[in-house]
Amino acid sequence: MTKILAFTGSNSSKSINEKLLKYTIELLIDVDVDVDYSNLNTLELPIYSEDEEENKGIPIDIRILSEQIQKYDALVVSVNEHNGAMSAFFKNITDWLSRNNSKYLEGKNIFLMSASPGKGGAKSSLEYTKSNFEKFGGKIVESFSFPLFHENFDVENNKINSEDLELGLRDVVSNFLQNILED
Ligand SMILES: Cc1cc2nc3c(=O)[nH]c(=O)nc-3n(C[C@H](O)[C@H](O)[C@H](O)COP(=O)(O)O)c2cc1C
């Protein structure tokens, strides 16, 4: 069984990326793969600093997350956008992970998504995250940007309102699955 780990780059309790990710997990589960969702908001982490690392070492929650990632064949990640980049919350996690193991994404096939309430669909954060993940060995197999979230996603009925986005998402999910199941 192919194992997929899913998480978002947001620490908001009302995260639109979490809603999109959970919707996407349902599409993935339809096919025969195992998907686990991890809420990174439960990690106990200081802001990265060289002093913190020297004095206290790598936080245990980062070592556990890094080991957890190694147990999966692929990742599905949805990132939010804060001022054109990934959130400080998520950057901090990726900085710590990179200090623990500079190849923490080696061999991982990744489906990267992003969502925003605006027209841009958090594309700038998506692009930044792509290059960040690739630096640490990740392979971005598919990506998908979801714009105008509140218009295009019906939260009450857990449904995408735009036919183009619904078909587009199903298409990339299917390509991603084909790719990782072949690997
Ligand atoms: C500090 C801050 C900066 C933001 N910068 C951007 C931005 O650059 N581009 C954008 O599309 N949305 C921006 N937003 C709006 C976010 O896209 C919006 O809050 C979204 O809900 C975040 O995703 P999340 O709900 O999954 O956390 C920003 C929001 C905050 C609080």
Q: Which atom of ligand 1 is nearest to the CA of 84?
A: 8
Mutate which of 81, 114, 123 to test ligand 1's pocket (most atoms within 8 Å of Cβ)? Answer: 81
CATH of the domain at 144: 3.40.50.360
Number of domains in the chain: 1
Question: Which residues on adjacent β-strands are paired with residue 156?
Answer: none
Is 77 a pocket residue for ligand 1 (Cβ < 6 Å)? Answer: no
Is 168 a pocket residue for ligand 1 (Cβ < 6 Å)? Answer: no
Tens place of pLDDT per residue across the chain (183 aa): 899 999 999 999 999 999 999 999 999 986 679 999 999 999 999 999 999 999 999 999 999 999 999 999 999 999 999 999 999 999 999 999 999 999 999 999 999 999 999 999 999 999 999 999 999 999 999 999 999 999 999 999 999 999 999 999 999 999 999 999 987
Sequence length of the chain is 183
Domain span holding position 60? 2-182
